Amino acid sequence: MRILAVDDDPTILDMLRDCLTGAAGFDLECAEDAEEALDLLDTSTMPFDCFLLDIMLPGIDGVSLCAQLRKRKDHQMTPIIMITASRTHDLMQRAFHAGATDFIFKPLNGIELGARINTAGMLNDSLRREQVAHHSLSELTDLMKIKRDESFDLGVAGVDDLNGFENRLLRLPVGCYAMNLIAIKLPQIRNIFDTLTPAEFCGQMGRVAQASVNALRNHRVIMGYAGNGTIVAAIIARTRIDPVAIQRQIEKELTNAWLSSNAGQGIGADVSVLAVSEQRLWSGLSACNAIQDFLRKDSEPDEVAFDEVANLFTVEI
């Protein structure tokens, strides 16, 4: 894992060199200021997998450097961990606004640092998978080929594909969050998929996604389309969310949308909202794992024995 650390404190750089060794799977490069770091980026033949930036750098500070890194095509989504001795809320807000992924506070703890780096590595691997597997709605429509169980970008602001959904959860600062994990499903997805053309199916799922965004607009929520007519959502809230109330609100939003547009009217109006788990506290990683377990179990086909299938076509004489 290639890491670029930028800090003007030689003691911090020495500690990073001791912790992030080649034997542990890290390829660490160090710079003492932003200008040196940018020079390394310009001369490097391979992109970095993670950045460790001290906020209080001489000249260009760490927040400004973070913003510059986000403007580079190769590093628009690379994990950036800020190193700071300050816990000022405004400073952290500025860094997150500039594109920071996470914080680690001085004095550095080797175990905590390793955990943050490993989380960043998981995020980077997920981002690479997303770049390989990503399909936009327009590409799918042009190709006119989609699979029912395929996750893709619905073209609705606030709803990612499954990889993007997981990435957003993994980019949450390390800690536990009060979350409600839910799944918004179209129970008749097989019939809907078989009835509509690919373009119509994409449009239909887009309308359901937009209705879900509208229904949850008063909540802090992370949403993604997981395929099989299922939208997963992580609602960050201390209070327990009632899935039935959300279902009714989504149905209301869909009814309003279909009253103003005949497209897809009467198809897929039957939505259901299910709680993925009754657990209330989650880390980003544990929430991802719970969603994956739910989707895996939900996608398991109903097993019907061969004799049972044969009996369907047996006529008694």
pTM of the predicted structure, to 2 decimals: 0.53
| Enclosing domain of residue 117 | 2-132
The type of residue at 153 is D
Q: Do the domain assignments include residue 33? A: yes
Domain count, the chain: 2
Distance, in Å, from the CA atom of 242 to the CA atom of 275, rounded to the nearest integer, reads 9
149 and 128 within one domain: no
Q: Do the domain assignments include residue 310? A: no
Strands (E), the chain: 2-6, 27-31, 50-54, 80-84, 102-105, 159-161, 177-185, 220-225, 230-236, 272-275, 281-282
Q: Do the domain assignments include residue 145? A: yes
For the chain of 317 residues, list the mean pLDDT of each consecutive stretch of 10.
92 90 88 95 88 93 94 86 83 86 82 76 65 53 66 90 92 90 88 78 88 93 94 94 92 75 50 92 93 86 44 44
Q: Do the domain assignments include residue 179? A: yes
Whole-number pLDDT of residue 259 = 55
**For residue 97, what is the domain's CATH number?**
3.40.50.2300
23 and 68 within one domain: yes
Distance, in Å, from the CA atom of 311 to the CA atom of 184, rounded to the nearest integer, reads 35
Q: What is the pLDDT of residues 157-187, one digit of tens each?
A: 999 999 999 999 998 888 899 999 999 998 7
The type of residue at 170 is L
Q: What is the pLDDT of residues 223-264, one digit of tens each?
A: 999 998 999 999 999 899 999 999 999 988 888 776 555 444
Whole-number pLDDT of residue 133 = 54
36 and 166 within one domain: no
Q: Do the domain assignments include residue 307? A: no
Coil, helix or strand at residue 37:
helix
144 and 127 within one domain: no
Q: Do the domain assignments include residue 313? A: no
230 and 144 within one domain: yes
Q: Do the domain assignments include residue 123? A: yes
DSSP, residue by residue, 272-292: EEEES-S--EE-HHHHHHHHH
